[in-house]
Structure 1
Amino acid sequence: MTELTKTLELKLVKPNAHKRRKLRETREAYQQALHDAFDAQCTTQTEANNVVVNYDLSGYAKNALKKYVPQLTTTYNAGELHDDHPVRFTNEGLRLDHKPKNAIEWYVKIPHHEDYHLWMPAQPNPEQRDWLEALNAGDATMGESRLFERDGTWYLHVTVTRDVEDGSEASAEERTPIGVDIGEASLVTVCHRDRHGSPTAPELWTDEGKTVRRLRKTYFTATRRLQTRGSERIAESFGDDLWDQIDDVFHRVTRKVVEYAESVENPVLVLEDLTYIRESMDYGEYMNRRLHGWGFAKLHAQIRYKAVEKGIPVETVNPRNTSKDCHACGEVGYRPRQATFKCTNDACWMGEYQADVNGAVNIADRYLSGESRFREHENDDDSAEDGGRLTAPQDSQADATKQETLGTYAS
């Protein structure tokens, strides 16, 4: 069994005027409490509690704030808050009710004040129905939930964790490791060795990398110009549309990665460990900012949960020198161009090679050498997921945040 965490989306079905007013009251009180606690630079839950306790919010929202604000100030190093932010509730806050005979089957209880809650009809993503039923039956556990409004429609994102059956009983030695290299030139590159040990069937998503780079550049250029003109709301709406487009690219590519793995006998997808990636980035302030914001966390999370749903195991390895070593002889080489790796060993047969494929093979080889180590990341993400939306448009934290605010089905 493998433990899998996924974000479910529920669209609240046309609340009446009274309930819309109550939802907005909750959002406004939450925003004010969040800003006041952040401005007070609360670094502990006790300090945050002293601020948020006075607001007309449910205890579930207050408890979420008490945990979150210290993370912003001490872990995420957020410089400023985004104007609008989802209302967070701790895992005890929501309740589900299933009425299968009704036209609208699902209802959710949303905390409003300490002694007042709102029951709302909700429409889930049809592809996530089995997850919702597992949660309702007690076969999955609920994590934090987030409430937000987009284009006049209210949504809930609920974090759910459940056990998923492993798809194969193959031992680690019997598996075929597929290296997954995430980068800027090619958004994702995958490759594995055949039974003779030769790198085979590489796939590169280079065009998608170009698309994401173009969208990111457009986002940061345009939104900063709009913000300098005082057009905050226009900048926010424009940015949301671009992040939706980036997220669509991410989902399309990660699905293809898993399909590639399904075509290989006894596959295991091998990713670079995010912790080591973060620790090893030291390319100067500009490049560090670009690389930290590239979306490693989100791509990792999407590959992981899509793979686990298909019964494909995922492992992580230390990424040290995977882009610098020659996969053929192990000597340190260099990149004369972004997409080209050149081996410095005159005795090596390889000479020049596609750089991202070389990196993917090295990542796969780390698994074969026994360096694989599975890391349990809470919610299969890292700090960028939770902290980034509040500091946009800083691209050091903005990429992995759209799942908080998507108005389309999250998967």
Structure 2
Amino acid sequence: MNRRALARLLGERIAQAGDERFGIMLVRVQRLQEFRLVHGYDASDAVGEAAHARLREVLRPVDELVQVAENEFIALLPALLNNGHAMLAASRVARAFETPLLFEHHSVMTPVAVGVSIHPEHGVDATTLLRRAEIALRDAKRMSERCALYSPGSERMMVPYEWLHEALRTNRLEAHFEPILDLRRNDVCGYESLARWNNVEIGPIRPDVFIRLAEDTGLIAELTRWSLNATFRHAAHIRAKDTRLRFSVNISPRVFGQRDLVQQITSALSVWDMPADAVTLEVTESALMEDPDASISMLHTLREAGLGIAIDDFGAGYSSLAYLKQFPATELKIDRSFVGDMRHDVRSARVVRAIIDLGHQLDLQVVAEGVEDAETLEVLRALGCDRAQGFHIGRSTPASFLLDRIATV
């Protein structure tokens, strides 16, 4: 069914439903293109048919299932009791594809991502409901459950590819440095480098918007090169005043596949005369778990080059201790959600204590993110946390401003 026919069908169901709640479930089958390249179009078509059959098995008889593309399906879920009812269906679909599809002489794993929007809560017309199901599916791709319900306010600013490409080409992005406090010395021991973009036409663009755009369009390699060189250029001048300072740079695992990544980093270090042991590369826990074996291999190579490795947002992802012990990390960074709640939530405080103890047992430095008040800072200090960062310690500052400030000291 093409999009126009789908919109017509959905419009009819909306008219029939009135104020009744029903769901729009968008299901996208992953890895189908990869399978087609190996086995050909006939086999790929067979996968689509097998996926259709499996979906039909787990949906209710009253649910309508429509295939709108080779790897994409829409299920219309009438008579829902509540939003939880819709998510129960979505999670059932996601779990159904955790076992291989079997057909002819093939067995293939085809994980899915599932996004759900609800009528009339999330929209009363076909275009809005479909777009919001697509937004939910986008979020689902980054979640371990592989399914998500649309959340109002989750739309992100749409930025054209050309804008980011031009901003990188003309060096329109800016490096900001956020201070990191050594809790034992009670002194700044380094800075985390953060990319910022202030577009001349629409103003500041959030990092999650342009970083995701870079990852989705292949610009992430260029953004990584810019970030490394911008960080090292400023850091080298700042370290001339204090050689104890270390600098952290966020790295997307999307660049791990580049054959020259290590050479690219070491070359940038050489150009700006930055020692490798003054630099820590930060990679989020959830991103590492997307392909842990490849991540482990690349991180070992980077660690052998003398660079520090920080597992960022630790505690918010779904890694296992079996993998954690294999990551050649030098730091654990506790996710800000636990740090922010620890004063008021006993469980969060216990999680923070457990992460600190775990990190020390593994000979890792532990950094708390999102420290916003003096009381939280003192609790972390009492728990033996090594370092901390957040608004209470200092907001991020344009690296050029920080350099000017240090030069006058």
TM-score interval, smaller chain: under 0.3
* Rg (Cα) greater in structure: 2
With the length of structure 1 as denominator, give the TM-score of the two structures.
Answer: 0.25
With CA pairs under 8 Å and 6+ residues apart, which has the higher RCO, 1 or 2?
1
